[in-house]
């Protein structure tokens, strides 16, 4: 076969889209070092792949399986993720058993630390109400806090 055309290959794989995907997969296989089933005759890998499909020298089922495996995405789960999943599953057992989760100790990260200083802010707001209209309070012109 001197020239390969799509019409030669469509007889073997009726769907043109599947044909393109399979020929591309075979061309990638050839590029990665797979053995050729035909003479190359100075043709590039896609042309060799189409010629192999047209002559049925490559099994189409294995090519289809390689295509599917090449497009599958597998999410790898780390060991740390597995431990977290196991801990999360354990929480449901605790809730069913009626065990309450531990509260954080007072101090770092507690509600007491996050509300620290709110009372001071309220006192300062009360002091702001007692100031005069000009915002200086009881200070006289030219005086400082040290003079009072």
What is the C-alpha R_g of the chain? 38
Region 63-69: mean pLDDT is 89
pLDDT band at 84 (very low <50, low <70, confident <90, very high): confident
Q: How far apart are CA 122 and CA 127, in angstroms?
A: 9
Tens of pLDDT, residues 90-131: 777 767 777 665 665 555 555 555 555 555 545 555 555 555
Mean of all residue pLDDT scores within the chain: 75
Please, are residues 1 and 54 in contact by the beta-carbon 8 Å criterion? yes
Please, are residues 45 and 27 in contact by the beta-carbon 8 Å criterion? yes
pLDDT at residue 91 in the model = 74
pLDDT at residue 7 in the model = 83
């Amino acid at each position: 076969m001197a020239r390969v055309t799509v019409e030669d290959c469509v007889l073997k794989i009726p769907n043109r889209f599947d044909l393109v995907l399979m020929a591309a997969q075979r061309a990638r296989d050839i590029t990665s070092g797979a053995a050729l089933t035909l003479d190359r005759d100075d043709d590039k890998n896609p042309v060799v792949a189409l010629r192999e499909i047209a002559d049925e020298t490559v099994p189409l089922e294995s090519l289809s399986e390689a295509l599917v495996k090449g497009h599958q995405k597998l999410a790898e789960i780390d060991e740390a993720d597995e431990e977290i999943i196991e801990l999360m599953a354990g929480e449901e057992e605790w809730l069913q058993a009626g065990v309450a989760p531990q509260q954080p100790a007072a101090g770092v990260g507690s509600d007491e630390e996050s509300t620290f200083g709110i009372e001071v802010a309220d006192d300062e707001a009360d002091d702001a109400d007692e100031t005069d209209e000009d915002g200086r309070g009881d200070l006289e012109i030219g005086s400082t806090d040290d003079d009072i």
